[in-house]
Amino acid sequence: MVEMMTLSFDEQVRAVARRGVPIDAASLTSARLERERARSALAWSRELVPVAEAAALIERAGRPVVLGHLEPDELERFTPIESIDPPGVPAYTLVEVDLGADRRNVRPEDALRDILAAGRSPLTLDEGIALMLQQPDVIAPNWGFSLAGSRCGDQRVPALWVSDGRPKLGWCWDRNPHTWLGTASCAERVAGAA
């Protein structure tokens, strides 16, 4: 199983800046992030970085991302589900991210129901990409996660995993369980001004 590291605010900002994401650290409240930083991660809006551009920046162990049965322009179609209302700011913080180890081999639609019932929120496609840009080792062979917070009007759920040694951004059917795939979630999304 893969665990998220707890990175400091400055480490998170440096990690995404190295990838070319224009995060304005001054717009975020580092004190709030430091206070709640257990398994936290920076995230941003598509207005700051379009999803296809952000996805193209993913690499793990020096190997670039491969899209699985997806075209770059198709990523734009995966938008937050109705129960998610991302903060209306360029950058924000995901608090208490859980990669879904206890939801491996659970159908994404069932995992989504359980996540919402627990008062948590599934990560979106954009948030999963943001997490990968900060901590590319959150996926590993036989370990990945679905991003059930984004859909495109059909039964596909975006997901991140390792395939042939490369990070892969693809999708799985919402009714198909996979022994190597959990469903990622967070406790809350915190806007920069807190």
**Cα–Cα dist 171/164, whole Å:** 16
pLDDT computed for residue 177 by the predictor: 94
Percent of the chain having pLDDT more than 70? 87
pLDDT at 194: 37
What is the pLDDT at residue 188? Answer: 92
Place of tokens 């996979």: 178
Q: At residue 21, does pLDDT exceed 90? A: no
Winning range, highest mean pLDDT, from 3-12, 25-34, 39-48, 58-67: 58-67
What is the model's pLDDT at position 31? 46
Taking only the tens place, the pLDDT of each residue in 113-125 is: 999 999 999 999 9
Mean pLDDT of the chain: 89
pLDDT confidence of 7, banded at 50, 70, 90? confident
Tens digit of each residue's pLDDT (9 = 90 or more) over 27-39: 565 545 554 556 7
pLDDT given for residue 44 in this prediction? 93
Q: What is the pLDDT of residue 156?
A: 97
Residue 129 has pLDDT above 80, yes or no: yes
Written in H, E and C, the secondary structure of 144-171 is EEECCCEECCCCEEEEEEEECCEEEEEE
